[in-house]
Amino acid sequence: DAKTTQPTSMDCAEGRAANLPCNHSTISGNEYVYWYRQIHSQGPQYIIHGLKNNETNEMASLIITEDRKSSTLILPHATLRDTAVYYCIVRVPNTGNQFYFGTGTSLTVIP
Amino acid sequence: KAGVTQTPRYLIKTRGQQVTLSCSPISGHRSVSWYQQTPGQGLQFLFEYFSETQRNKGNFPGRFSGRQFSNSRSEMNVSTLELGDSALYLCASSLGTVTGELFFGEGSRLTVL
Between chain A and chain B, the number of residue pairs with CB atoms below 8 A apart is 61
pLDDT given for residue A84 in this prediction: 97
Q: What is the number of other CB atoms lying within 10 angstroms of the CB of residue A24?
A: 22
What does pLDDT average to over chain B?
A: 94
**Percent over 90 (pLDDT), chain B:** 85
Mutation for testing the A interface, residue in B43, B49, B53, B111 having most A CBs under 10 Å: B43
Please give the backbone phi and psi of residue A50, each rounded to the nearest 5 degrees, phi first: -160, 165
- Chain A hits for B48, CB-CB cut-off 8 Å, are 96-98
pLDDT given for residue A102 in this prediction: 84
C-alpha A36: how far from chain center: 6
Question: Is the Cβ of A106 closer than 8 Å to some Cβ of chain B?
Answer: no
pLDDT given for residue A49 in this prediction: 94
Give residue B100's pLDDT band: very low, low, confident or very high (50, 70, 90): confident
Whether residue B69 has pLDDT greater than 80: yes
pLDDT given for residue A2 in this prediction: 55
- Worst-scoring range by mean pLDDT, A61-75, B15-29, B51-65, B93-107? B93-107
Whether residue B1 has pLDDT greater than 70: no
pLDDT given for residue A65 in this prediction: 95
Q: Residues of chain A whose pLDDT is less than 70?
A: 1-2
Whether residue B91 has pLDDT greater than 60: yes
Give residue B99's pLDDT band: very low, low, confident or very high (50, 70, 90): confident
For residue A18, give how far its alpha carbon lies from the nearest alpha carbon of chain B (Å): 23
Order the strands of the A61-64 sheet from edge to edge: A18-23, A70-75, A61-64, A55-56
User: Taking residues B78-95, what's their average pLDDT?
Assistant: 96
Q: How far apart are CA A3 and CA A19, in angstroms?
A: 20
Whether residue B45 has pLDDT greater than 90: yes
A45–B104 C-beta distance less than 8 A: yes
- Worst-scoring range by mean pLDDT, A95-99, B68-72, B84-88? A95-99
- Chain B hits for A93, CB-CB cut-off 8 Å, are 98
Contacts 24+ apart (CB under 8 A), A9-12: A9/A105, A9/A106, A9/A107, A9/A108, A10/A105, A10/A106, A10/A107, A10/A108, A11/A107, A11/A108, A11/A109, A11/A110, A12/A75, A12/A78, A12/A82, A12/A107, A12/A108, A12/A109, A12/A110
Residue of B nearest to A35 (CA): B101
Whether residue B41 has pLDDT greater than 90: no
pLDDT given for residue A29 in this prediction: 83
Query: Cβ neighbours of residue B105 under 8 Å, at least 6 residues apart?
Result: A43, B3, B4, B5, B6, B23, B90, B91, B92
B102–A96 C-beta distance less than 8 A: no
B56–A97 C-beta distance less than 8 A: yes
Among A91, A96, A101, the residue with its CB nearest the CB of B43 is A101
pLDDT given for residue A69 in this prediction: 93
- Chain A hits for B106, CB-CB cut-off 8 Å, are 42-43
B107–A102 C-beta distance less than 8 A: no
For residue A97, give how far its alpha carbon lies from the nearest alpha carbon of chain B (Å): 7
Beta strands in chain B (DSSP E): 5-7, 10-13, 19-24, 31-38, 42-50, 53-57, 64-68, 74-78, 87-94, 103-104, 108-112
Please give the backbone phi and psi of residue A22, each rounded to the nearest 5 degrees, phi first: -150, 130
